[in-house]
Amino acid sequence: MMLLKKPLLRVLLFSLLSLLGASAAGIAQKQPQNVQVRIGAILASNKNDEFDSRLKPLEKQLRVLKYRSYRLLKDESQDVPWQGNKVFEIPGGRSLMVAPQEFQDNRIGLKVRLTEGQKPLLDTTVRISNKGNFILGGPPQEGGVLVLSISATAQ
Amino acid sequence: MNGCEHRVEAIERWLDGELNGAEAESLRAHVAECAECGEARRRLEKIQQTLQGVLLADAQQIKFQPFWRAVQLRINEKQPWYHEALERLRDTFPASRAAWAVPAVIALLLAAVSLESYLPFWRSSGRNSFATVESIDAYGRNVALLREYDTKTTVIWLYQDQEGENDAAEETAPSGPAF
């Protein structure tokens, strides 16, 4: 205990404990159990100037696409285990399979497959920020196009 | 000894002029009557005189002039501009406080790094929030990738040529990417 009376030793001990605490917190953060995947299916068209108020949080991102009208067709969330996958039914007889791959540097690797019936439309692997999203769009839908907002949150 | 041993120190102080008036007078009266203390006084006075003589003789040989000149030079010496700032800094942050500042700064840096993990709203405008597309296969269809920097949005856009397979779609939807 006499050693602890020396300021330098107290400082070193405090620093060491801080680093250990931070490391433990970092390790704890890197072990999420599931990923909550949320899919927003949106109809974008030029039929009118309607903007669905439920899409307010995505407005800035959607305006990039230069359509006049945006309407939310479906919003669905599912918890997906790591290395597992879940299928989301998408309007227009399509389905979206999402499989979380890995979690690193607060970013989530997602394998995404969009199919129409039995026909695959797109296979992609995307790495997004935890709680971030990306937009997948283009397939024709009800006189407009289908736009999907795909977001993921590590849990 | 008549029990006056403890008075020797008082006699020394008296000879050095360190006693107040009443103490000095009382001791002087005692020494005048006490043979032992009188002897002690004489012995101490003799030692004092001898020492004084030796010191004075030595002191006359010491050249104080260069010493005082050097002191004067140090006093008059102009300090560099940062000297005063350093002195102030040293007064404001003594070594013990600075020692605590080091781990405090480390803890703050770690907290800043960890903040992103614990505060969801912190991350929304955070660094590196673009989605990265590592692989893509559109099975022969056209595909466009867009990165919009204002909103940090990554868009994967499937589209077909005018003669593509989805030409049954109503014409209000553009066939190519709208952006």
Query: Are A56 and A5 contained in the same domain?
Result: no
> Between residues 80 and 99 of chain A, which touch chain B (CB distance below 8 Å)?
none
Print burial letters for B163-175: b (CB count within 10 Å at least 16), e (below 16). Answer: eeebeebeeebbb
CA B32 centroid distance within chain: 62
The answer to whether the Cβ–Cβ distance between B173 and A127 falls below 8 Å is no
Of A39-48, A60-69, B162-171, which gets the smallest average pLDDT? B162-171
For residue range A122-149, list pLDDT tens digits in order: 999 999 999 899 999 988 888 899 999 9
How many domains does one find in chain A?
Answer: 2
Query: Are A79 and A110 contained in the same domain?
Result: yes
pLDDT the model gives residue A70: 93
Query: Are A84 and A96 contained in the same domain?
Result: yes
- For chain B, the structural domain boundaries read 7-61, 81-120, 130-179
What is the strand order of the sheet B142-148 is part of? A69-81, A34-45, A144-154, A133-141, B153-159, B142-148
The answer to whether the Cβ–Cβ distance between B139 and A29 falls below 8 Å is no
Query: Are A25 and A77 contained in the same domain?
Result: no
Q: Which of A11, A26, A64 sits opposite B151 (nearest CB)?
A: A64
- The parent domain of residue A11 ranges over 1-31
Q: Which of B117, B137, B178 sits opposite A29 (nearest CB)?
A: B117
Query: Are A52 and A66 contained in the same domain?
Result: yes
Q: How confident is the model at residue A30 (pLDDT cuts 50, 70, 90)?
A: low
In the block, residue with structure tokens 């101490």: B44
Query: Are A110 and A62 contained in the same domain?
Result: yes
ipTM over 0.90: no
Q: How confident is the model at residue A87 (pLDDT cuts 50, 70, 90)?
A: very high
pTM of the model: 0.54
pLDDT the model gives residue B169: 41
> Where are the strands (E) in A1-143, listed by range?
34-45, 69-81, 86-90, 94-104, 107-116, 119-129, 133-141
Of A6-10, A96-100, B173-177, which gets the smallest average pLDDT? B173-177
Query: Are A49 and A25 contained in the same domain?
Result: no
Can you tell me the mean pLDDT for B37-50?
A: 92
Q: What is the percent of chain A with per-residue pLDDT over 70, rounded to a whole number?
A: 86
- Mean pLDDT in chain A? 85
